[in-house]
Amino acid sequence: MDLILKYFPNLSDDQIEKFSRLESLYKDWNLKINVVSRKDIDELYLRHVLHALAIAKLIQFKDGSKLLDVGTGGGFPGIPLAILFPECSFHLVDSIAKKLKVVDEVVAGLELTNVKTTHSRVEAINDTYDFIISRAVAAMPTFVHWVKGKIAKQQNNDLKNGILYLKGGDLTEELKTYKTATVYNLSDYYTEDFFETKKLVHLPLKFRG
């Protein structure tokens, strides 16, 4: 928890309390339904929570923003961001039901009212969002294809509507056709070695009406 406060010192008491409870909730549920590896659960705040919150180092979502978390797995990056932005709505989608069972229990345990979950492939979701967030579920061309037509027309934030994608390694090849993509190094935000090769990609996408 100290790691979160190191980079996000202005959290409210309620946010601190919710972030503090994350570890015990995940450890408890992970014993029943394994969604996070043993090594990762022991470093939950570094490898999952802080990683997810890197998006908040780039953008402070305006109240009322709608976000879709594709392939949320155990609830990342959606749940940490939902704690940080209680006035935004988060839709967490995954095609694997057992993962969403854990997400639903964590959401209930934290009493988060701004999160909904759907067991589905993202292509079947019929709604539009300011941003589509995710953590390395596919190569960018595949991901862009999946989320086609899901970007809202109205621009509410300082960053253009589109994809915010957490990924690692050399992205040159998969981003070469996306001239508007901007890549941010997480090592610019965080000093821990874990983030040395981690990146955040912002790819603006136009509304397709």
Q: Binding site residues, as ranges?
A: 71, 76, 122-123, 135
Annotated binding site for S-adenosyl-L-methionine: 71, 76, 122-123, 135
- DSSP 8-state symbol, 73: T
DSSP annotation string for 122-189 = GGG----BSEEEEESSS-HHHHHHHTTT-B-SS--SSSPSEEEEEEES--HHHHTT-TT-EEEEGGGT
144 neighbors 132 (Cβ within 8 angstroms)? no
**Dist CA 89 CA 149 (whole Å):** 19
Q: And the tokens for 111?
A: 């009493």
The secondary structure element, H or E, covering residue 68 is strand 66-70
